[in-house]
Structure 1
Amino acid sequence: MTKSAYVALVTCFNDDETINFEATRAQVRRQVEAGNNIMCAGTNGDFSALTFDEKVRLCEEVVDEIDGKVKVIVNAGMPATFETLKLAREFDRIGVDGIAVITPFFIACTQDGLIRHYTTVADAVDTPLFLYDIPARTQNHIEPETARKLAEHSNIAGIKDSGGAMDTLEAYMAVGRDMEGFEVYSGPDHLVHWALQNGATGCISGLGNVMPKVLAKIVTCFNSGDDAGAAAAQEAYTALRVDLYKLGFPPAMVKRALWVMDPSVGASRQPALLPNPEQDKEIEAILKKHDLI
């Protein structure tokens, strides 16, 4: 199976916190040039700070810029099934390769509630649906057996695992081995190569915003049978992760690192991380260390 890399694309903002669509398009072009697919309106895309209408337009702009060159998945997940369903139908209309649905947040869910949530959305759209598990942020977790039950649905195509626990990822990959057509994408940046070796379909990585070519190299080397090359690229990728994520919340650090490289991406909407000259100097030193600027 040919493996694939997706980058959880940042959303770019102007100084007044409106979306900078042209700068976002430029980031799309940068990832397409590197050979990566795109996930938009995810955790690294500040999805929780965007309005309904902004998410719809963002999806339209990204799809238009990609113009079929690579694949695009968009996150429709919201706390309530009602709004998730409305967003998913809009994305279905626009035309994407997949609709990801992050687990509901703020609302505590039972596993039965999650099954009802995902089944309702999957029933309502033609676009393949991907489960999206990130319990540290949502406080709701898709148990592997729940994923196995959902994998039986004809329109549920896989899962993005951003939990960071290797045993959970292994359990999801076991579902993928048993259930034909159920794809598993690894979210943690340090597990890309390991996940590919152990049966993942690919990865969806936030750090790829900063190091797109290295992410692409992990996957292209693996696909060509160059496991040593993939391992070396993963080592470089992990080294940046360790240095950068020591400074704070990973999505915020990704956005700030990208801002140091290219200020057109803007800061995130408040109350996210504010520009900090001292921290930005630390980030600049890290980027220089890794030959990124």
Structure 2
Amino acid sequence: MKNNNPYKGVIVPMVSPLNDDFSIDQAAVGRVVENFLKYDVAPFIAGTTGEASSLSFQQKKDLVKATVNVAKGKAVIYAGIASNCLPDTIEMAHAFADMGADVVVANLPSYYPITHAQAAKYCLKLADVSPVPLIFYNITATTGYSIPLELMEKLSYHPNIAGLKDSERDEERLDQALKLWKDREDFVHLIGWAAMSGYALKNGSDGIVPSTGNFTPELYADLYKQALNGNWQQVEELQQLTNRLGALYQKDRTLAESLAALKVVMNECGLCGTQVMPPIYRMDELSEEAFRSEANSCLSNSRL
């Protein structure tokens, strides 16, 4: 972990709170972000957990505005700019930077299969024109493309590329990435595989990006603090607890289904409503009722 690089710590991929008409619920954004700030946790908005691929440009601008209103100057604000259209991605980068985002985050386009040479050109073009530091986001599960570490190593020396957020579930890849970048003060590695948060921190990762932190930011803040202090037994205990909480809404569900379930958990915590963007839909009434009972039990046990 770096001492002088600001892009580190606990960075939660924030849900996008929605009203029933699909507009951004700005009051709920405020509640969620304020809950992050209590524990020195940073928001990453308009990412996978934030249903970014389904949000309009206006919804994203409203989300950025609501987040900046609460968090500017109190936490680093990470804003997703991913799109299958490069001009749209560039436009979002400029718009969100102008609105107060500190860092922009982009994954590779996800419709056409791309070669490594095409990926390199895309990344360089975006990095050359981004008005703020850029972090690339590797999430093979949704893009169908795994950014090679060799390519990322070459890109890492670009002055505007600040780091990699990697959500690929590959322990060998993780070890290789940490070997490459754990001692690089100018480039950060952020782990998006929440179940490996403690392992990654112990071996040199700079930050963790756990979706479960949407309703338990305090647990991940404690996990990170214990890791900084080298208290690895406490880290392991917190890892197991957060893994159980993650399984609450993720186990036996697709990614889309898990995001709908996550908003039900957050609703139980008084943070936001349950509306989601199509093609994701709310849980049916009977399933939601049963899940709320399960969630309440799990949340109560986690606070004992």
CA drift at 1:54: 2.0
3-state SS of 1:157 partner: strand
Aligned to 1:259: 267
Q: What is the TM-score when the length of structure 1 is the normalising length?
A: 0.93
Contact 2:72 2:100 in 1 (8 A): no
For residues 84-129 of structure 1, what are the alpha-carbon distances to aligned partners after superposition, in whole Å with 9 as ceiling and x for unaligned? 1111111222232211102211122211111111111111123111
Q: What amino acid is the match of 1:153?
A: H
Q: 1:18 aligns to what?
A: 23
Paired residue secondary structure (1:173): helix
Q: Which residue of 1 aligns with 2:47?
A: 42
What is the letter of the counterpart of residue 259 of structure 1? Answer: N
Q: Structure 2: 5+ residue runs without aligned partners?
A: none
Aligned ranges for residues 16-165 of structure 1 at < 5 Å? 16-165=21-170
Bigger drift between 231-240 and 169-178 goes to 169-178
Whether the aligned pair in 2 keeps the contact of 1:99 and 1:127 (CA below 8 Å) is: yes
Q: Give percent identity, aligned residues only.
A: 24
Change (3 A) 1:126 1:101: same
Q: Deviations over 1:170-218 (max 9, x none)?
A: 2222331365411000011111111101110011111111221111111
**Number of aligned residue pairs:** 293
RMSD: 1.9
Hey, what's the Cα distance between the residues in 2 that align with 1:287 and 1:113? 47
> 1:102·1:134 contact (CA, 8 Å) conserved in 2?
yes
Aligned residue number for residue 291 of structure 2: 282
Give the counterpart letter for 2:273 in structure 1: V
Please state if 1:219 is matched with 2:228.
Answer: no
Asked if the contact 2:198–2:235 (Cα under 8 Å) also holds between the matched residues in 1, the reply is: yes
Most deviating of 40-49 and 92-101: 92-101
Q: TM-score, normalised by structure 2?
A: 0.90
- The AA in structure 2 aligned to 1:270 is P
Q: How does 1:204-215 map to 2 (within 5 A)?
A: 204-215=209-220
User: Deviation digits for residues 144-185 of structure 1, max 9, x if unmatched?
Assistant: 111111112111010111112112222222331365411000
Q: Partner of 1:168 in structure 2?
A: 173
Aligned equivalents of 1:132, 1:35: Cα separation in 2: 22
Distance 2:57 2:66 in 1: 15
Q: CA deviation at 1:263?
A: 7.0
Instruction: Note the residue ranges of structure 1 that are not aligned, 5 or more in a row.
Output: none
